[in-house]
């Protein structure tokens, strides 16, 4: 389970991360240009969940494991550099559910953290294909799946 909302903030990105951690939610901030579609987010979440359950996860934090899969790399610094949010003016808040507390609600968490919903609320962009140097969604998803081999 996953939910996402495109946001902005009047506060620097680095001040949002401690708030996320203190919220108790498994959540991260993602660069909008690194997201092809909501399905791209769902696949990264499913791969992260599976790797955690299988004991093959690279990270012990679900939100970081998600970011690793989303960015098609097993390297944390590279994943943050590629897919991590770059600007407080436009980012996507992604909230991962654990299946125990019900469905995650990104809008409610954004409101709780004092984030503004971005007027460009659309999540996903064709430009993500060139961002990942692929020509189709199928090749992007294949690249994600093969990123751990």
Q: Which residue has the tokens 């390297």?
A: 75
Neighbours of 54 (CB within 10 A): 8
Integer CA distances (angstroms), 132 to 5, 13, 74, 127, 144, in order: 22, 23, 15, 9, 10
Please tell me the distance from the alpha carbon of residue 127 to that of residue 35, in angstroms, as a whole number.
9
Please tell me the distance from the alpha carbon of residue 108 to that of residue 98, in angstroms, as a whole number.
16
CATH number of the domain at 2-146, please? 3.30.2380.10
- Give the domain ranges of the chain: 2-146
pLDDT tens readout for residues 16-75: 999 999 998 999 999 999 999 999 999 999 999 999 999 999 999 999 999 999 999 999
pLDDT at 117 over 90: yes
**pTM of the entire structure?**
0.93
pLDDT of residue 100: 62
pLDDT at 98 over 90: no
Among candidates 87, 78, 41, 40, which has minimal Cα distance to 59? 78
């Amino acid at each position: 389970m996953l939910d996402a909302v495109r946001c902005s903030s009047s506060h620097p990105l680095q001040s949002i991360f401690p708030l996320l951690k203190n919220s108790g939610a498994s959540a991260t901030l993602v660069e909008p240009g690194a997201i092809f579609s909501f399905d791209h987010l769902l696949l990264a979440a499913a791969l992260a969940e599976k790797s955690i359950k299988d004991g093959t996860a690279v990270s012990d934090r679900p939100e970081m494991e998600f970011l690793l899969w989303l960015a098609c790399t097993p390297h944390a610094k590279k994943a943050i550099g590629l897919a991590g949010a770059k600007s407080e003016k436009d980012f996507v808040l992604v909230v991962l559910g654990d299946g125990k507390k019900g469905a995650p609600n990104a809008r409610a968490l954004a409101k709780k953290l004092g984030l503004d919903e971005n007027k460009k609320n659309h999540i996903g962009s064709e430009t993500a294909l060139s961002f990942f140097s692929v020509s189709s969604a199928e090749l992007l998803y294949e690249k994600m799946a093969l990123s751990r081999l």
